[in-house]
Chains A and B, each alone.
Chain A
């Protein structure tokens, strides 16, 4: 039985996979061989669907997305009660609640939310590569509050996700009712050992700096790229030629034209400012008083 779920939440293409690789390695058995394809037990993809079907009276594949929402709070509560620590769960959904059933992830079942952000210019370029779209289409997707990553005409192994726009996704978690550890991808990239030590502590993992350094070294971006090249990566969509493409911040330069930069800044400016993301594409210090990187639980909103 876990002491609550550790949600590793983010808008897609914001460093979620790297964070999961590091934290699950820190929270798991160090003697186990490392592999990007051995991210078992994190209740993602088909494992999440199987879990839903295991607890729900009827299969998710026979329910509409709206009906699935009704079951989620109870299923996530049971997940928290039954899985062993550390109970890492990957999340790309917005923090959401239904009027009838409350928060999808009930606050009393969540130990902490690790929320990862990345400059939206980089997210746009990465999203375009990931889904095989143009940068224009990626920017369109990032501004669409109605984005649900699901297809009505086919059953995906993963469960439907309610991702929302980039801004909506960020705000939903920053202003949600959970204990929160906020981390920017740019800060992780600049000093991964310090960043992951902070996140490990937030997740309740008692690990020393040497151990963090060892795991960070084993998950260097070029090593992940090499493994993907040799063995593939099962989370890579068919629309993308490679999942681990360009890990460095600022990779948008030369790939995102002025009009798209302006559009992102216009549509997401308020949230960008809150996170210290400037409209010239840089990540500067988070303005004083705007965000506390780590905070305790919030009062649930009505």
Chain B
């Protein structure tokens, strides 16, 4: 683990600066105590691992995955992420997958919940996790809410833990990732924004961010539909929403974390309310944000 403590803070938060850091050594965003360590060489395979998809191996306590020409990542024991960059790889892309999939795997290993959600704190301090698959518009809605004074907790993957009585959402980001069309629709000048990685028209949009963990109280299933509006979800279906919104659920069994996952889903389900928020992609984002703000008020 030599070198892990070299430059703490280089990816302490998923910021525009993280793409420029010279080394990836440092803490894992939103997971105090966990560390990233850049290494020259990772093992080719994990002993006794299950393959859960292209270039992804999972064994109890370990996840090894690769992104060709970018990097290989080994996540261990909920405590460390080792990264082996490919020669000449885009640093932005390496950082992106560190803060995304590698961090998500690490959260699974801790028996916590990596939620595919953009999480925000409303002006009345209620903490809201906006859940959906990719391309539905979580980050765009989060950007609109940010303009209205909501605080960003996390984008893409939110770490949610249980402290005995509350579902705790951990702050990990101070920028949202928006595609050019979303930036344009919000009159943001992309020429003044940092690109998330080479080859993508996707940019970091700085956002006012929470600095301390927050008590999660509302789960929102964001849905593409022609009319904006809110539908309340019976409490008995909260766990379905959490299961659907869990990052890479195929990892859970080979990691040996099924019991932990069942437990934390049940705990979070018991303390959060859930709604379906309709209108993503089909309605003006301001209208969708209005409906959510009303539901949170």
A156 at interface (Cβ–Cβ under 8 A)?
Answer: yes
Flag if A67 contacts B179 (CB, 8 Å).
no
Query: Number of residues in A with C-beta < 8 Å to the partner?
Result: 30
User: Which of chain A's residues have a CB closer than 8 A to the CB of B55?
Assistant: 57, 71, 74
Report the minimal beta-carbon distance from B7 to chain A, rounded to whole angstroms: 24
Flag if B53 contacts A74 (CB, 8 Å).
yes
Flag if B179 contacts A154 (CB, 8 Å).
yes
> Taking A49-B134, A62-B100, A62-B197 as contacts, is the C-beta distance between A55 and B181 under 8 angstroms?
no
Report the minimal beta-carbon distance from B265 to chain A, rounded to whole angstroms: 18
Report the minimal beta-carbon distance from B285 to chain A, rounded to whole angstroms: 13
State which size class the interface on B falls in. Answer: 35 or more
Flag if B67 contacts A49 (CB, 8 Å).
no
Residue of chain A at shortest CB distance from B134: A61
- In the bound complex, what is the Cα–Cα distance between A93 and B169 (angstroms)? 41
Point out the residue from A46, A60, A75 that lies within 8 Å of B53, measured CB to CB.
A75
List A residues 29-77 near B (Cβ within 8 Å): 46, 49-50, 53-64, 67, 70-71, 74-75
User: Which of chain B's residues have a CB closer than 8 A to the CB of A75?
Assistant: 53-54
Point out the residue from B67, B134, B199, B201 that lies within 8 Å of A57, measured CB to CB.
B67
User: Which of chain A's residues have a CB closer than 8 A to the CB of B250?
Assistant: 54-55
Flag if A57 contacts B54 (CB, 8 Å).
yes
Report the minimal beta-carbon distance from B92 to chain A, rounded to whole angstroms: 10
A232 at interface (Cβ–Cβ under 8 A)?
Answer: yes
Interface string of B159-197 (1 = CB under 8 A from A): 000000000000000000001111010000000000011
> Taking A46-B135, A62-B97 as contacts, is the C-beta distance between A154 and B226 under 8 angstroms?
no
A237 at interface (Cβ–Cβ under 8 A)?
Answer: no
Point out the residue from A50, A55, A152, A153 that lies within 8 Å of B54, measured CB to CB.
A55
- In the bound complex, what is the Cα–Cα distance between A232 and B225 (angstroms)? 11
Flag if B97 contacts A53 (CB, 8 Å).
no
A78 at interface (Cβ–Cβ under 8 A)?
Answer: yes
Flag if A56 contacts B53 (CB, 8 Å).
yes
Report the minimal beta-carbon distance from A157 to chain B, rounded to whole angstroms: 5
List B residues 63-84 near A (Cβ within 8 Å): 65-70
- In the bound complex, what is the Cα–Cα distance between A155 and B224 (angstroms)? 14
- In the bound complex, what is the Cα–Cα distance between A57 and B93 (angstroms)? 13
- In the bound complex, what is the Cα–Cα distance between A78 and B249 (angstroms)? 16
Interface string of A115-153 (1 = CB under 8 A from B): 000000000000000000000000000000000000111
- In the bound complex, what is the Cα–Cα distance between A151 and B249 (angstroms)? 29
B52 at interface (Cβ–Cβ under 8 A)?
Answer: yes
User: Which of chain B's residues have a CB closer than 8 A to the CB of A100?
Assistant: 68
B261 at interface (Cβ–Cβ under 8 A)?
Answer: no
User: Which of chain A's residues have a CB closer than 8 A to the CB of B181?
Assistant: 151, 153-154
- In the bound complex, what is the Cα–Cα distance between A22 and B142 (angstroms)? 41
User: Which of chain A's residues have a CB closer than 8 A to the CB of B224?
Assistant: 46, 157
Point out the residue from B133, B156, B196 that lies within 8 Å of A49, measured CB to CB.
B133
User: Which of chain B's residues have a CB closer than 8 A to the CB of A46?
Assistant: 133, 135-136, 224
Flag if A64 contacts B199 (CB, 8 Å).
yes
Flag if A60 contacts B134 (CB, 8 Å).
yes
> Taking A57-B53, A57-B67, A154-B182 as contacts, is the C-beta distance between A62 and B96 under 8 angstroms?
yes
Flag if B53 contacts A70 (CB, 8 Å).
no
Report the minimal beta-carbon distance from A199 to chain B, rounded to whole angstroms: 31
B56 at interface (Cβ–Cβ under 8 A)?
Answer: yes
Flag if A78 contacts B197 (CB, 8 Å).
no
Offer 27 A-B interface pairs, CB within 8 angstroms, sorted by A. A46-B133, A54-B53, A57-B55, A57-B97, A58-B96, A58-B97, A58-B100, A59-B100, A59-B134, A61-B135, A61-B202, A62-B93, A62-B97, A62-B197, A62-B202, A64-B199, A67-B69, A70-B54, A70-B68, A74-B53, A75-B54, A78-B53, A151-B181, A153-B184, A154-B179, A155-B134, A232-B226
Using a CB–CB cutoff of 8 Å, the interface residues on chain A facing chain B are 46, 49-50, 53-64, 67, 70-71, 74-75, 78, 100, 151-157, 232
12 further A-B pairs in the complex, CB-CB below 8 A; given A46-B135, A70-B54:
A46-B133, A46-B136, A54-B248, A57-B101, A58-B67, A59-B156, A61-B202, A62-B96, A62-B200, A70-B68, A152-B180, A152-B201
Q: A-B pairs with the 9 shortest C-beta distances?
A: A74-B54, A154-B181, A55-B53, A57-B65, A153-B180, A64-B199, A153-B201, A57-B56, A61-B134
